Amino acid sequence: MKHLLDLMRKRQSARTLFDPKKKIAKKDLKKILEAGRWAPTAHNMQNFEIIIVDDRKILDAIANIKNPISLTFVRENYKQLSFSKEELKQKGTGILGAQFPPSWRKPNITEKDIARDDHNSFMGEEIKSSPVLAIVLYDFTKRAPASEGDFLGAISLGCVMENMWLMANSLGIGFHILSALSEGAIEKKLRKMLNIPNNMKIAYSFRLGYPVTSEKYLRVRRPVNGFIHTNAYTTK
Ligand SMILES: Cc1cc2nc3c(=O)[nH]c(=O)nc-3n(C[C@H](O)[C@H](O)[C@H](O)COP(=O)(O)O)c2cc1C
């Protein structure tokens, strides 16, 4: 049990370039997908398909898709940022500002500001450096009974994500979620490029690889008594 909790504590986002020459061994990829396979899903509907992209030409084509970051994302992100390690530790939620481009770290950000720090180019480099990019498709025809809106389906996809993430990290493989590939223009282009059927939507994508740096970043969580309510909800 200690081992499992250790693994959960150490699991982390690999927001870094990967060594493109270090491939993911087939047997390791198989283990990661096997972990996803055994994830719990609502009504055991297994409402997902996964496209594994390891062809360099396709990876480069995906990396080159232009997808400017939305102003709404950057503005809402700003409200949740911490500007020092002390602030982040105290809040226990959110992300350190230093992990984002400089223009994202100022109030009243404009379109012009974000155009200066081209989000696309850094995400593109991350994708180009990845030996594997996995695209997880949400199949909305495989909905659990009486789950209109399919909140349960979304939770199921999260279970698949966590199983694969833990397995990847246990094998020493970096894992990085990229939500941006599920949105707007980029999703539209990917649908065409990867032949994604109409009854499916890109839920999330993740890159796998061996990080080129072993740099650690501050990871925080609320304490257990920050979210536990005994017998009834109490305002903290
Ligand atoms: C549903 C979901 C979407 C996420 N999307 C992104 C993303 O687009 N880019 C990214 O760098 N991290 C993404 N993350 C990672 C979270 O930001 C990260 O898990 C959180 O900050 C805690 O850091 P840790 O994973 O290192 O513990 C996502 C995580 C989840 C569960």
CATH of the domain at 161: 3.40.109.10
Q: Can you give the C-alpha Rg of the chain in angstroms?
A: 19
> Is 207 inside a domain boundary?
yes
164 Cα–ligand 1 center, Å: 14
> Is 71 inside a domain boundary?
no
Q: How many domains does the chain have?
A: 1
Sequence-ordered list of residues with C-beta below 8 angstroms from that of 86, at least 6 positions apart, any chain: none
Q: Whose CA is nearest to atom 20 of ligand 1?
A: 13
pLDDT in tens, 177-234: 999 999 888 999 999 999 999 999 999 999 999 999 887 889 999 999 999 999 999 9
Partners of 134 in the beta sheet?
52, 206
Return d(Cα 107, Cα 81) in angstroms, integer: 11
Band (141; pLDDT cuts 50, 70, 90): very high
Residue 106: per-residue pLDDT: 84
Sequence-ordered list of residues with C-beta below 8 angstroms from that of 235, at least 6 positions apart, any chain: none
Residue 159 structure tokens: 């279970």
> Is 67 inside a domain boundary?
no
Span 152-177, mean pLDDT? 97
Report yes or no: 201 and 42 within 8 Å, Cβ to Cβ: no
> Is 184 inside a domain boundary?
yes
Mean pLDDT for the chain overall:
93
> Is 155 inside a domain boundary?
yes
Q: Which of 178, 227, 169 is nearest to 207 (CA)?
A: 178
Mutate to test the pocket of ligand 1, among 179, 204, 216, 219 (most ligand atoms within 8 A of CB): 179
> Is 98 inside a domain boundary?
no
120 pLDDT more than 80: no
160 Cα–ligand 1 center, Å: 15
Q: Which residue has the higher pLDDT, 32 or 74?
A: 32
Asked if residue 89 has its Cβ within 6 Å of ligand 1, the reply is no
Report yes or no: 43 and 144 within 8 Å, Cβ to Cβ: yes
pLDDT above 70 coverage of the chain, percent? 99
Asked if residue 15 has its Cβ within 6 Å of ligand 1, the reply is yes
Band (12; pLDDT cuts 50, 70, 90): very high
> Is 168 inside a domain boundary?
yes
2 pLDDT more than 70: no
> Is 180 inside a domain boundary?
yes
Structural domain that includes position 40: 2-54+131-211
Residue 113: per-residue pLDDT: 81
Residue 121: per-residue pLDDT: 73
pTM: 0.94
Residue 56: per-residue pLDDT: 96
Residue 70 structure tokens: 């939305």
Asked if residue 90 has its Cβ within 6 Å of ligand 1, the reply is no
Q: How far apart are the first and last CA of the chain?
A: 30
12 Cα–ligand 1 center, Å: 9
